Amino acid sequence: MNRRLITLFIFVCIVPFSGCAQTNTSFRYNQPFDYSSLKTYSWQTNHKQKEALNQEKTDEPEIIRQTVNALLTEKGYGLSPKADFHVSYHYSTKTRHKNILSMIGIGIGSFGRYCGLESSRWHKNDTRGQLVIELSDAKHGHIFWKGTSTGKFTSNSKKPGRENYIKTMVEDIIKDIPSI
């Protein structure tokens, strides 16, 4: 009986929290590319990105740009209109709404013959964010670095929580770019 209670405790209390990952990051880059020739960068925005920036009511584009600027500056790269490479990004979110029905049966009765059953229903909103940052050669336009970071956060996240989440995504992508 004692072993069953321990197993039930582990299943109910620990297992639901064991799969909470922050972000997943992947990279694609050109191995033989010579990073030593890179000193300066500029932001590359296409027509769709400019429209999105004008329509956005959030601070996310500015957070991404500020974080990338700070991290590339730490690595020794400078922002310049005549750049050696261009930085572009795409950030998107997708929210899923779920109705979850959960049943957990726990109970102790006289002589061990009775059990209780609880049934509960709640709503869960999962928001998944994806950030893609690309670095391309200014001379030829070839992408030599592409990093993608994905993860999920609650849609009820307060502004500082969302900012930290986005900064973490940017840091995960930029950290492996070679320094000057």
- CATH number of the domain to which 70 belongs: 3.30.160.670
User: Exposed (0-12), middle (13-18) or buried (19+): which is 61, by Cβ within 10 Å?
Assistant: middle
Phi, psi of 103 (to 5 degrees): -125, 125
CA atoms within 13 A on the CB side of 52: 13
The reply to whether 46 falls in a domain is yes
Range of the domain at 70: 25-97+128-174
Considering its fold, how many domains does the chain have in total? 1
CB atoms within 10 A of CB 73: 12
pTM of the predicted protein model: 0.68
Domain membership of residue 13 (yes or no) is no
Give the pLDDT of the chain (180 residues) as one tens digit per residue.
556 555 545 544 444 443 333 567 776 766 677 888 899 999 987 655 555 555 555 678 889 999 999 999 999 999 999 999 999 999 888 877 776 666 555 556 666 555 555 556 666 677 788 899 999 999 888 899 899 998 876 545 566 677 888 898 999 999 888 888
Closest to 60 (Cα-Cα) out of 135, 153, 179, 177: 153
